[in-house]
Structure formats: C-alpha cells, structure tokens
Amino acid sequence: MSVSGEFQRILADTVAFLRRSEADGATTLARGLADAGVHARDDLADGAARVVDLLEGHEPRKAANPLEAREFDGQAAHLRAICRAILGR
C-alpha cells in the first residue's frame, strides 16, 4: 500500500473511532481530521501537517473508559508516525 493509502486508511479508522466515541471533544476532532483527509488528497504534506497540528493541539480527552483511551492513543500514535514520515520529521 502506498504512503498516501496508508495515511488515508488509518485516518479513516481514527475518524470512525472518534465518531463512535462518547469522549469529550471527539466529534470536533473527528470533523477536523476528516477535513484534513479531504485536503490531503490534493496536498498530502499539508494534510499531514494539519493532522499533526490537530492531534497535538487536542487536549487530553475524558474517555468513557480506559480501554477507549488506550485505543485512541494507539491510533493517534500510528497516525502521527505516518504524518512524520510524510513530512520527513
């Protein structure tokens, strides 16, 4: 799978997870990430930078349960790693 394809896949998984979540701010973050994904179709590097900014600017969530928090942390870490690879960081 291409870098762009993997980026879009994990981004979609993270957005879907957030939309199912009942954690504070999950819907707002999901919307922002989805918008960044649409933008990334035209400019992958800028879309990846937007995702990193959104994830780093997002305050810790109050998750419904600890398992949900760990799941999100894992997805966010994977997404950040892909973004860093795209951005050469």
Per DSSP, 64 falls in state: S
Q: For 32-87, what is each residue's pLDDT tens digit?
A: 999 999 999 999 999 999 999 999 887 655 666 778 888 888 989 999 999 999 99
Total Cβ atoms within 10 A of residue 64: 13
CA–CA separation, 62 vs 51, rounded Å? Answer: 20
* pLDDT at residue 36, rounded to an integer: 96
Tokens 């780093």 sit on residue: 56
| Enclosing domain of residue 58 | 3-87
* pLDDT at residue 14, rounded to an integer: 93
Number of domains in the chain: 1
In DSSP notation, 31-67 reads HHHHHHHHHHTT-HHHHHHHHHHHHHHSPPP--SSHH
